Structure 1
Amino acid sequence: MGFAGAAVVGVPLVATPLLARARAEGGLPLTVVNSTGRYPNSSIHMYITGYHPVTREMGYVTSPGTFTPASYADNGADGLDIAIPLAGEGATSFVLPMLDGGRVYFSIDGRLRFSVVDGGGRPMLQEPAGAVESDPNFGVLWDFWEFTYNPNGMHCNTTMVDMFSIPISTRLVGAGEHTAGKLTDGGRDAIFAEVARQPGYERLIIGDGLRVIAPGHGIVAGRFSPTYFDGYIAEMWNRYRGADLRVSNEFGGFTGRVQDDGRMHFDGGIGAFDRPSTMDVFMCNGTFSRPNDAGGKVAAALAAGFNRSVLDRPYQPVDDRAAFYQHPVTNHYSRILHNHSANGRVYGFPYDDIVGDASYIQDPAPREVTITLTPFAGGEASYPIAQPPPVAQATVAAGAVVGQVRLADQEIPAAGFDSGYGVRRESCSEGGENVCAVANGDWVAYRGVEFGDQPMTQFIVRVACGAELGLSGLVQVRLDSETSPPIGSIAVASTGGWQRWLTIPGNMSPVTGRHDVFLTFASGQPQEYLNVRWLRFAR
């Protein structure tokens, strides 16, 4: 094969003596269970890397409990082979030595190739990169699990910050028992299918179901828009030019506001944050790169607020999970992963541990850990799933606004509704399309309409009606649900034709902030009575 390096474990290990020896020598017993339902043990290999907690050398583990520092001499013609095969059948037993920044990789139907490179004068392992097409492992099905195991205990997570490929769950036993990472039944297939349906995210899928890469890595790879969050970022920056943003953490409470220099300044010695880029948001770096102190905690809360699209709330961090990812411009990659986690917790972006939403577990006195490669396919979540507004009985519009914010004082094309019931679209005499075939009980919805800080008290619609004389109805405005009380209504009747347009204003209760806007239609007769061209709001 042309590989160099330490020998691999080639036979199943005897569990009971191994556990006893591991505990005596300070290692942590590891059990790997293959429950993929698609792949036999013989097609799966494990790889363990990390940093020695004392010398800070980077290296690998191929024998139970034994750390080997990386050496330039390890490189062979095809790289470095550190593969550990699973047992011939059943569970595989192993021992983890103490490591900082450890990773346990798994590959299926192919081996991973590592190499030793110069890391600032010290040998470092070049590890796989799931978004880089030139990486020799690009075409291999692989994923990894992260841990730090030291005298303070075991700290581990089933990370999806960089990518998602192989579903992995963890059970850690010590002073307590902890679990993380389990997906809903059929979660893997469902994640790939939902990412493929999400506009702008479909190119994050690599190969024929190999992996989904995170949006930040998608930007680097030219697979995702580098300006995706720019509109939402601008909106938040403008919001906090005239209002305070308050962030609380274990160090205290801090108040920030965007100043004339275009930066968000916080009191309490936190300093200022530059306006972030889309890449800063997804990767939680750039302006959010801070030490793990009070300023770092503020940065983490801001980054989490952007990724979850809840930064419009003036008190951060937001701990209402049902509010996460409701804006059309949001980290849908993370949203989809959370939706298919059995307990709702995953690491979908670097600061996803804010308010405990990540798949992170720890124990100060660990005794054993089990990693399970869970089924790829087959259930239901055990927690309330956070999703964009429902589209039951709805048609998702080709012209819907996704990736930008709707401003209430600008014309919102009626045919660009995000969801609706009973209506259709047709070509409009004024260009584009209009909503048609409106009858009693129908509705259309527009997500994320921004009304601003000053109340708006009028709504205006452009309508046409060719119904017979005596047939009329109402256009009603409701906020956030088609069943909420109307805040205003306009009576409409014949305008002289189905494409003879008339602009009609109406009054409504004062509205500020951002809302999903529903137009509902009511008539005392069952016939179709209205076409709608556009709507907008005014003060």
Structure 2
Amino acid sequence: MLVLAVPVALAATQDSADAIGPDLLPVTVTNNSGRGEAVYLYILGTDIRPGGGLGYVNAAGAFTRWPAGGNPPTPAPDVAIAGPGNGGSVTVRFPRFLSGRMYFSFGQKLDLRLTPDGLVQPAPWAGGDPNRNILFDWSEFTYNDAGLWLNSSQVDQFAVPHAVSVTHSNGSTTKTGELLNDGRNTVINAVKAQPAFARSVVTRADGTVLRVLAPGKAMDAGLMDPGYLDSYITSAWNAYTSRTLTVVPRVAEPNRRFFGRTVGTNMVFTDSTGAQVATVAKPTTSNVWGCDGVFNAPNTPPFIEPEIKRTLCTALNRGTLGTFDVEPNLDANTFYKNSAPNHYSRIIHANMADGKAYGFAYDDVGGFESLVHSGDPRSAAITLTPFGPGGPTGPPPATGSMIVSNWHNKCIDVPNWNFNDGQRLIVWDCHGGTNQRWDFVNGTLRTQNNKCMDVAWGSTANGAAIQIVTCSGNPAQQFVLTAAGDLVNPQANKCVDIADWNPNNDAVLQLWECTGGANQKWHRG
């Protein structure tokens, strides 16, 4: 079954309907790999409309369902699209109802097979997989009426370096997934230097490094100790026999809290009324690597059990569980410092130009994933980046302005770099990071991830939350920084205000009658 780049939930805080992109979204694949082999592309996925099914898409964007397969699996039709040669580009199209993957292989076409249930996904960590000696990788995507989600995934393997980007209706482009200079070799050599992970680097007989397997896949292939995390899990689990673990799964809802204590081998969670809401059994190493098994839960309202389990698995992968009493902990400086670190995810993140990657299944907790999204895309791109030297030597320079409070010199801040729609804005000590940078564009204030400052639900009432959502340019997203230092929403003729004169980091922003108070005065920094 395909692992798809589907958003966790469509934002309910958008104050107007998103525009939608073209029926057939152009996606340009550029080959800057430096390799001379032929490249083959595959667009495979699920038609998410009622009555849809599994199938493939040709270069023009036409979807075709797979024919019936058999047992044992039968060869699939050859659905390869000729990819670009080194230095070249090819443009294909995604239809607006598809959720799936774009695969790219070098030097050899993928061997795809069908069962009566559909496509057998290539799985090179499995000994019998016919694709295990092929150099290939994939990006994951969903394109629907809410827009495009496109990511570069390392959840299963790190193989072909590639960046993903989307161009929005205003002409701006958001990009992620680009490795630092000589990043592929750096990742491979750093993984080899970790004794417990070294065998997860898979090399073909001709000397080509095909991939670095993610820990769970390496374990399944017999290349990594299946008990690598066991001692750490036990220590982390037992830490809460005498302490309470507080889980706050939604940054925008800080009062939505659940409280866990370890009882025997289970962690039992209650809500603020004391009612029991979830029980999580102590996981195995395999459960943590896959975020499955004991972490499986029905993704249905009110979402409490899946959110708790998602938080726990994330904390175990990042090595923060057992050390901190509130999760998720979103301070990246504290990640991977436990007794048995996830060096695979750590090393990949450290070699990304923007620090973002999908090193494990729930790496999107806190916005650390290599994902681009647009509610109104005009085009997208996947760039196969250099296998050797090449690429940026450091993070991209910050652009835009900081918006600084005249009162205490703190900055308007997107907390924890969480650029999801509906994220409420706060003030924080100014550090100049991309989550504190704003561009003034056509009357809007835009983040570096092309989200706009917005009055929730287009409200004009005192106390309305100031948030970010996908840019639409509607009146709720119009702000003017006056010569007097007021940040005014003209629709309401009210000011952006630090709520309750709270002088601390994390103080939230709200809309309020303009009073001339220092908690409403701002300047560019």
TM-score > 0.5, shorter chain as reference: yes
Residue 44 in structure 1 maps to residue 47 in structure 2: no
Describe the shift of the 1:102–1:329 C-alpha distance in structure 2 as closer, same or farther (beyond 3 A): same
Secondary structure at the aligned position of 1:300 is classed as helix
Deviations 1:145-194 (A, max 9, x none): 00000111101110000001000101101245311100101011111111
Shift of 1:246: 0.6
Instruction: Check the 8 A contact 2:354/2:395 in 1, yes or no.
Output: yes
Measure how far apart 1:199 and its partner are. 1.1
In structure 1, the residue matched to 2:285 is 278
The aligned counterpart of 2:388 is 377
Residue 99 of structure 1: CA displacement? 4.0
Structure 2 match to 1:253: 257
Inter-partner Cα distance in structure 1 for 2:54 and 2:159: 25
**Mapping of residues 139-538 of structure 1, within 5 Å:** 139-175=133-169, 177-208=173-204, 209-250=209-250, 252-259=256-263, 261-268=264-271, 269-292=276-299, 293-311=303-321, 312-378=323-389, 380-382=393-395
Q: Distance in 2 between matches of 1:349 and 1:98?
A: 27
Q: In structure 1, list runs of 5 or more residues that go unmatched.
A: 1-22, 385-539
**CA distance, structure 2, for counterparts of residue 136 and residue 113 of structure 1:** 6
Contact conserved, 2:34 with 2:386, CA < 8 A, in 1?
Answer: yes
Matched residue, 2:422: none
Which amino acid in 2 is paired with 1:216? G
Is residue 48 of structure 2 the alignment partner of residue 53 of structure 1?
yes
**Contact 1:141–1:211 under 8 Å retained in 2:** yes
Looking at structure 2, the residues matched to 233 and 38 of structure 1 have their Cα atoms a distance apart, in angstroms, of: 42
Residue pair 1:50, 1:99 contacting (<8 A) in 2 also? no
Deviation at 1:56, TM superposition (A): 3.4
Per the alignment, do residues 220 and 366 of structure 1 end up closer, same or farther by CA in structure 2, a change over 3 Å counting?
same
Contact kept in structure 2, 1:325 and 1:332, CA below 8 Å? yes
Structure 2 Cα separation of the partners of residues 87 and 130 of structure 1: 24
Q: Secondary structure at the match of 1:299?
A: helix
The equivalent position to 1:31 in structure 2, one of 28, 46, 57, is: 28
Amino acid of the residue matched to residue 195 of structure 2?
P
How big is the shift at 1:77?
A: 7.5
- The answer as to whether partners of 1:80 and 1:116 remain within 8 angstroms in 2 is no
Could you say which residue in structure 1 is the equivalent of 2:465?
A: none
> Counterparts of 1:89-104 in structure 2 under 5 Å?
90-104=88-102
How much does 1:204 deviate? 0.7
Aligned equivalents of 2:73, 2:240: Cα separation in 1: 56
Q: Answer 1 or 2: higher relative contact order, Cα 8 Å, separation at least 6.
A: 2
1:276-313 deviation digits (Å, cap 9, x = unpaired): 10011111111111234122121111111101111121
**Alpha carbons of 1:99 and 1:185: their partners in 2 closer, same or farther (altered >3 Å)?**
farther
Give CA-to-partner distance per residue, 1:492-538, whole Å, 9 cap, x none.
xxxxxxxxxxxxxxxxxxxxxxxxxxxxxxxxxxxxxxxxxxxxxxx
The TM-score normalised by the length of structure 1 is 0.63
In structure 2, the CA distance between the partners of 1:338 and 1:94, relative to structure 1 (3 Å rule), is same
SS of 2:154's equivalent in the other structure is: coil
Match of 1:118 among 116, 122, 144: 116
Residue identity in the other structure for 1:290:
A
Task: Render the CA deviation track for 1:355-405: whole Å, top value 9, x for unaligned.
Answer: 111111211111100110001112533289xxxxxxxxxxxxxxxxxxxxx
Cα distance in 1 for partners of 2:360, 2:331 equals 18
The CA distance in 1 between the partners of 2:31 and 2:222, in whole Å, is 34
2:374 corresponds to which letter in structure 1?
D
Structure-2 change in CA distance of 1:278 and 1:81 (3 Å): same
1:85 aligns with 2:96: no
Deviation at residue 130 of structure 1 after TM alignment: 2.1
Give, in whole Å, the separation in 2 of the partners of 1:86 and 1:95. Answer: 13
CA distance in 2, matches of 1:219, 1:76: 25
Secondary structure of residue in 2 paired with 1:354: coil
Q: Cα–Cα, structure 1 residues 327 and 117, in superposed 2: closer, same or farther, change >3 Å?
A: same
SS in structure 2 at match of 1:135: coil
For 2:266, the aligned partner's letter is: R
Question: What amino acid sits opposite 1:53 in the alignment?
Answer: I
SS at 1:129 equivalent: coil
Q: Which amino acid aligns with 1:174?
A: H
Q: Does the C-alpha gap of structure 1 residues 329 and 179 become closer, same or farther in structure 2, counting only changes over 3 Å?
A: same
Superposition deviation, residue 319 in structure 1:
1.0
Letter of the 1:196 partner, please give it: K
Q: Partner of 1:305: helix, strand, or coil?
A: helix
Of structures 1 and 2, the larger Rg is shown by 1
User: Any stretches of 5+ residues in structure 2 without a counterpart?
Assistant: 1-19, 398-525
Asked if the contact 1:130–1:213 (Cα under 8 Å) also holds between the matched residues in 2, the reply is no
- C-alpha separation in 1, matches of 2:121 and 2:110: 9
Q: Hey, what's the Cα distance between the residues in 2 that align with 1:94 and 1:131?
A: 29
Would the alpha carbon gap of residues 253 and 24 (structure 1) be closer, same or farther in structure 2, given more than 3 Å must change? closer
Aligned CA-pair RMSD:
2.2
Question: Counterpart of 2:34 in 1: which secondary structure?
Answer: coil
Q: 1:134 to 1:314 in 2, by over 3 A?
A: same
Letter in 2 for 1:377: G
2:69/2:115 contact within 8 Å kept? no
In structure 1, what is the Cα distance between the partners aligned to 2:124 and 2:339?
Answer: 27
What letter matches 1:343 in structure 2? D
Kept in 1: contact 2:39–2:84 (CA 8 A): no
Q: Deviations over 1:23-55 (max 9, x none)?
A: 996110010100001235xx1110110000112
Alignment check: 8 A CA contact 1:53 1:98 kept: no
Q: CA deviation at 1:267?
A: 0.5
Aligned residues: 355
Structure 1 Cα separation of the partners of residues 121 and 218 of structure 2: 18
The answer to whether the 8 A contact 1:148-1:156 is kept is yes
